[in-house]
Amino acid sequence: LKINKSELEAIAVRPAQYPPDGPAEIAFAGRSNVGKSSLLNLLTGRKNLARVSGAPGKTRTINFYRINDRFRIVDLPGYGYAKVSKSVSEDWGQMMERYLGTREGLRRVIQLVDIRHAPTRQDLQMYEYLRHYGLDGVVVATKADKVSRNEQAKNLAVIRKELKLGPEDILLPVSALKRTGTEQLLDVIEKVLEE
Ligand code: GTP
Ligand code: MG
């Protein structure tokens, strides 16, 4: 897969704001600051398509990006940002449930975790949730440039074990900084689109 066209199609907090259901969608989930928006920019080769910030909680809406006039990548709001109030985090749950539970075109959710750490409790919950909906099976370990080669292998094994990934499940290290892992991930996306 090569991405040669990408554009922001819709920004939504409720279903009425979603673009029409139908085209295949692949969503990115993960905690705030894990690198969802950076990964989208890396895959599309566009530095500023999605807003990236050092301050967690940047993406608080569901952002739909139209790719190659063929499918969508959906940047989901991050979880685990401690500073959001109770009501904001409830809205988050409702927003996620309405999208993940009802979207016909949704083919897979790519779960992002930080390669430096074991998955958090919320990562585990999120992944269980994806399993429940049959949207699991592809995990990306972000910020691979922040650990040594040795640590990389060790941490990937921990992530595999904690998330209970099976041999058929995919776990890919990527680095938005070093621009590594994209080709493999684009191959995975192509396979999901062909399923
Ligand atoms: P929210 O929108 O808050 O949910 O965050 P997000 O998951 O979209 O994260 P974002 O892409 O905004 O990145 C958060 C921070 O991590 C930024 O400072 C990025 O520059 C940095 N970052 C993202 N990916 C990488 C990576 O692969 N390597 C390194 N070193 N930094 C990264
Ligand atoms: Mg973001």
Domain limits of the chain?
6-194
Distance from residue 63's CA to the centre of ligand 1 (Å): 16
Distance from residue 39's CA to the centre of ligand 2 (Å): 9
Give residue for tokens 């993406």. 59
Tokens of 181: 């892992």
Nearest-angstrom CA–CA distance, 62 and 64? 7
Closest residue by Cα to residue 33 from 61, 53, 16, 49: 53
Ligand 1 lined by 56 (C-beta under 6 Å) = yes
Q: Do 11 and 149 touch, CB atoms closer than 8 A?
A: no
Relative to the CA of 174, which ligand 1 atom is closest? 27
Nearest-angstrom CA–CA distance, 171 and 19? 30
Give residue for tokens 């409790």. 121
What does pLDDT average to over the chain? 93
The reported pLDDT for the residue numbered 147 is: 98
What ipTM score was computed for the predicted complex, to two decimals? 0.98
Model confidence pLDDT, tens digit, residues 175-185: 999 999 999 99
Just give the CATH number of 6-194.
Answer: 3.40.50.300
Distance from residue 67's CA to the centre of ligand 2 (Å): 18
Model confidence pLDDT, tens digit, residues 47-69: 899 888 777 666 688 999 999 99
Q: Exposed (0-12), middle (13-18) or buried (19+): which is 107, by Cβ within 10 Å?
A: middle
Model confidence pLDDT, tens digit, residues 97-121: 999 999 999 999 999 999 999 999 9
Closest residue by Cα to residue 18 from 115, 105, 90: 105
